[in-house]
């Protein structure tokens, strides 16, 4: 059993997109629980839209938990599944900290701007505290919503390496296909129109489960 948490103290980094794609792809082969721990409940909305489409055959079981319930109830609920994915809220909160206590694998989606770098500094403080209670927590950074026309990613990679952070080889670009898929309760595979997006997500899944 593996418990993943998609976390960041900054919103707008593709956290929910990452979480629901990971959960949906894991659910294709194993019973998977998706915990929406974000008060905005975006992952739960995606799951509700998904249930309305009979063509989507494999779906994660989805529940909403807030605050400390993410670790207290989440630990019990996750015992019945091969995998659990937590979409934590996009700010430093009891929910985010609880997700880090529950998880074995923390995935940190992050953009390539100076604001993203500043937010990472705040998140790393929270992660360090979580490791006092969850010392086996593994943390990896996923560069997301990138604009391939800029060189910002190079500066961000330098910053992340200076922090001695593990970084996914896979990067996720800003693509219309992701927004369209989320709005339909789908994944980019199921929308099936953007081969580059599909390749990115498949590479991410392979790394995430390695």
pLDDT digits (tens, 9 = 90+) for 48-75: 999 998 788 889 999 999 999 999 999 9
pLDDT digits (tens, 9 = 90+) for 150-181: 778 888 888 899 989 999 999 999 999 999 99
Q: What was the pLDDT predicted at 131?
A: 95
Burial 19-34 (b: 16+ CB within 10 A, else e): bbbbbbbbbeeeebbb
pLDDT digits (tens, 9 = 90+) for 96-133: 999 999 999 999 999 998 889 888 888 999 999 999 99
CATH of 2-208, one of 3.40.50.300, 3.40.630.30, 3.30.420.40, 3.40.50.1360: 3.40.50.300
Q: What was the pLDDT predicted at 148?
A: 75
Mean pLDDT rounded to a whole number for the chain: 93
Every domain of the chain and the residues it spans: 2-208
For residue 126 the two structure tokens come to 């929270």
SS3 per-residue string spanning 40-75: CCHHHHHHHHHHCCCCCCCCCEEEECCCCHHHHHHH
Q: Dihedral sign, CA of 127, 128, 132, 134?
A: positive
In whole angstroms, what is the distance from residue 6 CA to residue 90 CA? Answer: 10
């Amino acid at each position: 059993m593996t418990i993943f948490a998609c976390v960041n103290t900054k919103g707008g980094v593709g956290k929910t997109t990452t979480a629901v794609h990971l959960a949906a792809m894991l659910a294709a082969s194993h019973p998977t629980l998706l915990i929406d721990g974000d008060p905005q409940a975006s992952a739960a909305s995606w799951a509700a839209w998904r249930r309305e489409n009979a063509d989507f055959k494999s779906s994660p079981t989805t529940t909403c938990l807030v605050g400390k319930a993410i670790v207290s109830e989440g630990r019990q609920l996750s015992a019945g599944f091969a995998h659990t994915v937590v979409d934590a809220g996009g700010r430093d909160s009891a929910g985010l900290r609880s997700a880090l206590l529950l998880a074995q694998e923390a995935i940190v989606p992050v953009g390539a701007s100076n604001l993203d770098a500043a937010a990472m500094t705040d998140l790393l403080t929270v992660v360090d505290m979580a490791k006092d209670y969850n010392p086996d927590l593994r943390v990896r950074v996923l560069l997301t919503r990138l604009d391939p026309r800029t060189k910002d990613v190079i500066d961000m990679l330098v910053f992340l390496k200076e922090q001695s952070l593990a970084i996914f080889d896979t990067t996720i670009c800003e693509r219309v296909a992701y927004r369209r898929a989320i709005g339909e309760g789908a994944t980019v595979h199921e929308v099936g129109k953007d081969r580059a997006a599909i390749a990115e997500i498949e590479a991410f899944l392979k790394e995430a489960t390695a």
